[in-house]
Structure 1
């Protein structure tokens, strides 16, 4: 049932954030862990800046990440586009390689599985696999923390219920379109019940540890540390949060528990990575930082996501008269000969417009493919993403800027279309909308690449970002 955000928030006590910041800074002393974030799509860097993202998990890339001066690095797995078997295999491989590099360097570490703030993805498979692989390598994992809070996207957890903001109202996550996802659907909005549902009863709701807003706002760090110290046997911990101060208080408690010898796995949205990684705030990026200097070509926008918010944002984008819209008939992936001709048409029209200085939006038709099974739906979604990504890969002209809309789409555009292996996160163009700077190995080196999640922003946000760049 929807509730008023203002009414619900009015009941939550305030906290002295300046005092919390000072305590957090003091607690960082002696907390010397390399933080590795496994991102199941490229939108997980939506709160950080000055951090590198690796698009493979070879021993070389992991060693490079460990050698960085930064405390944290990201590995883009894009596992939300994987079938379950591949997800398990690759996460086992990553955990083994991370553990081996930690032993080689003598560097303690922590792993974060950055997942969707609307609770979609391969959970609990990914974190369970990571934990089991680490334990095989000699690590002990006492528990798992779930924190899907993501302020920039309007995702809040109150009394263990996770909410998605829609206008002035908060909707329990289990009642949103995201819960009806063909591949990663669920029913529960209470995170304790969500855990029981997704683990098929292996972890019961009644056994989940809850970190309350009351304790967080009262800065009862010792009480929270006591809760964490009692966690064993991979027991689940749910963190309530409605603002960054809640995450900061929890970070103080978590660092204290880890210094005392506890070890945790993390399944969180992007807020936790920013706080635990000590990433400073940075102003939103502007046109001068995003458009290629001296490039008189048009920009390119790739729209692949089919969630309701993307469709609404796409309709608003159509208000811009200076953008040329080209529909890619995505269901032709089911007819390969016709698909080949369709891609030739789209690429030719796109290149002609970009060369003439016109910004192009290439979009998949809004009709969804209903395959029946979860596996088939995901397989076709990946085929569609591969097809639209090939448009970027085959471009012979560099656009002035590039935006990709949607999780799987933006990952494939970055890794397959632009051939990025290591990117620098410049910051955000709007709250929750990150920007990569492509590496020297990429198709267009040094270009700003805007990763626009399917489920983030107001109806006008895509239109406003594009208008700023024109």
Structure 2
């Protein structure tokens, strides 16, 4: 038995995992998807959830018109950006109840079955289990669907997130570190201590759902292509108990998706809490090469680009330090701690807008970054800190919203930062995911309704990439 707190060498772990015939698995998956006719609706708690897909729509509101448009699209899947990781618990509860009610109403009108994927963080942060519990309750109240279980699937290869022996790991260079031992587990709002996903569910649900009642889909069954056993495991799930999926590569996702599709055809209904890998596989999204500058920047402009850095995780700070090696970028620090002094805070925002506008119009690429120390109000102040972080995010957003010059491109670093800039700064109602500029780093092409129509908007998650990836991304866009 692997202990939760043990970090493991990547090379040691992966050499013991049997290979599988991926082409054979893909053929089986394609056959299952041919007869699968449900609309997949992905509720994304920040805009980084599209980091594996391309050619898919993202709606930034959950009005009936938007959801109906999503249902009527040819694609089998669409995303709704909730940005709920930046919400309080009560805001999250209301949003998810509202969304689920509209989904069930529209589904009945268009006579279409659906399933909901609650796309959460691959490092297990977010309003869990609140979001999926509210979705389950609302869907069951407004339809005849009964949800038998919930599939927990945080694997995300591009970010180095793997589940092995039911323990979720985060890759740090040559090592796999149990998620509960990482900085992400110490998140002031969404912290946790368990790395074993069954125990994590028990911890987050305060004992309502037990690790001992959880169904575990093992890598042994997956790599043996034992679809009968996996499907039978799924058929036995009831009372909204949890299904933990082990995975180290996309082929594992494909095998489990085949079993899920078979179980659904036999009448089972599941809720999903997953990272971004499942959406790509279940949505039947094809691979696409990484995007080039020519694909992204189609309007010739002498203006510079804009980089907005908000995330405070260690990886973002390391990437920012690496970015500072670029001599062609002007850096502006935003003293966000002035949020405690409203007049000075407003002056600071005005200073940054004026400076950024002048530099961008002179052809200079500008990076605006928030002060790296987190604002700490002390113990027992989580909600107050969250509210202040929203004020800071609003200020960052206003910098983009008030710009009078169109940048050549925009990069936003951090999930909540990129959501707020996309929705409130750029006024995007519907965007198309063009693909990825680097693995796990998605690009929106903004709609005609937005502040800068057709601009390449790069959504760079706080916790993805190597130290050099942000610099490499900006260099690619700038050369």
TM-score category (smaller protein): over 0.9
Show the counterpart of 1:184.
Answer: 190
Distance in structure 2 (CA, Å) of the matches to 1:334 and 1:259: 55
Alignment equivalent of 2:282, drawn from 270, 276, 284: 276
After superposition, what is the alpha-carbon deviation per residue over 1:249-299, rounded to whole angstroms, capped at 9, x for unaligned? 001000000011100000000000000000000000111122242111000
- 1:318 deviates by 0.3
Distance across 1 between alignment mates of 2:175 and 2:33: 36
Any unmatched runs of 5+ in structure 1? Answer: none
Which among 205, 219, 229 is matched to residue 235 of structure 2?
A: 229
The equivalent residue for 1:323 is: 329
Aligned to 1:423: 431
Q: CA–CA distance in 1 between the matches of 2:160 and 2:267?
A: 34
- Deviation, 1:383, is 1.1
Alignment of 1:52-91 (within 5 A): 52-91=57-96
- The Cα shift of 1:29 comes to 2.3
Equivalent in 342, 359, 363 of residue 357 of structure 1: 363
> CA offsets, 1:25-73, max 9 Å, x none?
1111221000000000000000000000000000110000001000000
Aligned with residue 32 of structure 1, among 14, 28, 37 = 37
Report the CA distance between 1:367 and its aligned residue. Answer: 1.2
What residue number does 1:438 align with?
Answer: 446
> Are 1:313 and 2:319 matched, yes or no?
yes
**Structure 1 residue corresponding to 2:55, chosen from 47, 50, 63:** 50
Per mean C-alpha deviation after superposition, the further-off stretch among 331-340 and 125-134 is 331-340
- Which runs of 5 or more structure 2 residues have no equivalent in the other structure? 1-5
Looking at structure 1, the residues matched to 476 and 433 of structure 2 have their Cα atoms a distance apart, in angstroms, of 20
Q: How well do the aligned residues superpose, as a CA RMSD in angstroms? A: 0.6
Match of 1:117 among 115, 118, 122: 122
Equivalent position SS for 1:392: helix
Residue number in structure 1 paired with 2:3: none
CA deviation after TM superposition for structure 1 residue 135, in Å? 0.8
Q: Distance in 2 between matches of 1:342 and 1:85?
A: 31
Mapping for residues 230-309 of structure 1, pairs under 5 Å: 230-309=236-315
Structure 1 residue 13 and structure 2 residue 21: aligned? no
The match for 1:370 among 370, 373, 376 is 376
Name the stretch that deviates more: 185-194 or 136-145.
136-145
* d(CA) in 2 for partners of 1:456, 1:292: 27
CA distance in 2, matches of 1:440, 1:408: 23
Following the alignment from structure 1 to structure 2, what is the Cα–Cα distance between the partners of residues 44 and 17?
Answer: 25
Q: Is contact 1:182-1:377 (8 Å) kept?
A: no
Picking from 405, 410, 425, the partner of 1:402 is 410
CA distance in 2: counterparts of 1:371 and 1:67, whole angstroms: 47
Normalising by the residue count of structure 2, what TM-score does the alignment of the two structures yield?
A: 0.97
Kept in 2: contact 1:183–1:377 (CA 8 A) = no
SS in 2 for 1:457: coil
CA distance in 2, matches of 1:232, 1:172: 29
1:230 deviation in Å? Answer: 0.5
Give the secondary-structure state (helix, strand or coil) at the position aligned to 1:152.
helix
In the aligned structure 1, how far is the partner of 2:370 from the partner of 2:9? Answer: 35
SS of 2:11's equivalent in the other structure is helix
Q: Quote the Cα distance in structure 2 between the aligned partners of 1:395 and 1:371.
A: 32
